Structure 1
Amino acid sequence: MSVSESARSWIGSIVFFAYYAVSTILFGALAPLATLLLPKNARQPVLNLHNKGLLCAFRLLCGVKVEIIGRENIDKNRPVVLVANHQSEWETYVLQVLMAPVSTVLKKELLAVPFFGWGLRMVKPIAIDRSQRTNALKQIISQGKERLEDGRSVLIFPEGTRIAPNEEQPFNKGAAMLATSANVPILPVVHNAGYTWPGRRWRKFPGSIRVVIGSIIESEGKRTSVLHEEMDAWMRSEMAKLPKGNSSLD
């Protein structure tokens, strides 16, 4: 990255951070009132105004291109267990927009974050205590089935935490267990957003993000282990094909 490109990266990151902070505070402050006044089916679209604004600002201010492959595999009339690799915050926003309505499995501490956590509560997340693994899994299954029966997809990051690009973490079986228990399919997604929006860092980088949405993986008649292996094999294979670094999609 040249000196001028580095300067633009810093400036874009600073401006985006300011926008991110102001937008999150405003929407978070309004979230409790919106939750109280809006019907359930209107809450996600309202929150997604915030999400879409962040995604747009990120692209424009930080010089990022986005390519999404496999949109035709999304059926919003059929709730699914949505699984994706976890590299940054970016995918949590874009998947909320692409798959609405969706409830995300997340660590309960996030709900206590002022403004940010208030907004999260609008879309019925499944907030777990990761230190209590057995209870957390039971919670994912029970609350996940409730969300799916209510017509909401459930988003699970099977790595359990954010993983830097080019690093690997075993996928847990929670998604496959929920899918077989609720008799709903898995929709797998992979991306390389960690190169432009690194996890746990406020600075963003210009470049490109590729998202690949796979075909539905049916759960009916399958054992959890078999379904998990299908999901794991597809995701590992497609992750290996993703561009490395901030190479342009042009």
Structure 2
Amino acid sequence: MIAWGRTIAFMIVFYSLSVAIVLAAPIPALIGRPAMIGYAQVWARVHRWTTRWILGIRTRVEGARPDAPVLYAAKHQAMFETIEFALMLDAPALVMKAELARIPIWGWAARRYGIIVIDRQSSGAGLRRMMREAQAALAEGRSIVLFPEGTRVPPGERPPLRAGFAGLYRALGVEVVPIALDSGRIWPRKGAKRAGVVTFRFGAPVPPGLSRAEAEARVHAEMNALD
């Protein structure tokens, strides 16, 4: 009952504030990307505050985060990390599915922030566009965050990496830093969210230039280190 009470309170507070933030997003979006990035981080801080003080969720970080822009290959178990990464990784460009970019107002503002859209049904031209956008983000000094398993997965599941990872790995020519996490233990896809600690573990960097099989094997193992 306590977990459900906290979950309901979080949903009321966070989503009410989020509606107001999204409705006002066109203002910084029209000013420019730096303003939109700063505005998005305000939203991320609201999320961090509400998850900490209403839900009782804290974070623990293990391993070293690199200083230079890289391609992060992250496990994805909950909505929690998609927003937390905006603060933890200094406003990276996230690769997100095309459906999210079609949400009214939010999708347009997210594009202004610099998300990179991936369409799972895309042609080769769409994949090339994704890679150009990723290269542009790196040129701006921003890291790229990819969820290479393609979707949220429950704790304990280890689906194979999707083809988009190999394409970005070859095209970008930068280190890949895998991120393991365990948010799904306390933030299930359905049901009440629970108080606890979410661990983020930065794995050993994977250098560019490896074969696809070796790069995928190393990234997959590091991403699933907490399962």
Q: TM-score, normalised by structure 2?
A: 0.90
Using the TM superposition, give the Cα deviation of residue 119 of structure 1 relative to its aligned residue in structure 2, in angstroms: 4.2
Q: RMSD of the alignment, in Å?
A: 2.0
Using the TM superposition, give the Cα deviation of residue 85 of structure 1 relative to its aligned residue in structure 2, in angstroms: 0.8
1:239 alignment partner in structure 2: 226
Work out the CA distance in 2 between the residues paired with 1:144 and 1:26.
30
Alignment of 1:111-190 (within 5 A): 111-132=101-122, 134-190=124-180
Q: Which runs of 5+ in 1 are unaligned?
A: 1-6, 241-250
Alignment of 1:3-152 (within 5 A): 7-37=1-31, 39-70=32-63, 72-75=64-67, 78-132=68-122, 134-152=124-142
- The one-letter code sitting in structure 1 at the alignment partner of 2:62 is I
> Is 2:201 the partner of 1:207?
no
2:61 is paired with a residue whose SS is: strand
- The one-letter code sitting in structure 1 at the alignment partner of 2:216 is H
Q: Could you tell me the percent identity over the aligned residues?
A: 26
Work out the CA distance in 1 between the residues paired with 2:139 and 2:211.
21
CA contact (8 A) 1:88 1:198 kept: yes
Q: Which runs of 5+ in 2 are unaligned?
A: none
Using the TM superposition, give the Cα deviation of residue 229 of structure 1 relative to its aligned residue in structure 2, in angstroms: 2.3
Using the TM superposition, give the Cα deviation of residue 144 of structure 1 relative to its aligned residue in structure 2, in angstroms: 1.5
Using the TM superposition, give the Cα deviation of residue 204 of structure 1 relative to its aligned residue in structure 2, in angstroms: 1.5
- The one-letter code sitting in structure 2 at the alignment partner of 1:22 is S
Work out the CA distance in 2 between the residues paired with 1:154 and 1:215.
17
- The one-letter code sitting in structure 2 at the alignment partner of 1:217 is V
1:239 is paired with a residue whose SS is: coil
Q: TM-score, normalised by structure 1?
A: 0.82
2:214 alignment partner in structure 1: 226
CA contact (8 A) 1:47 1:122 kept: no
Give the number of aligned pairs: 227
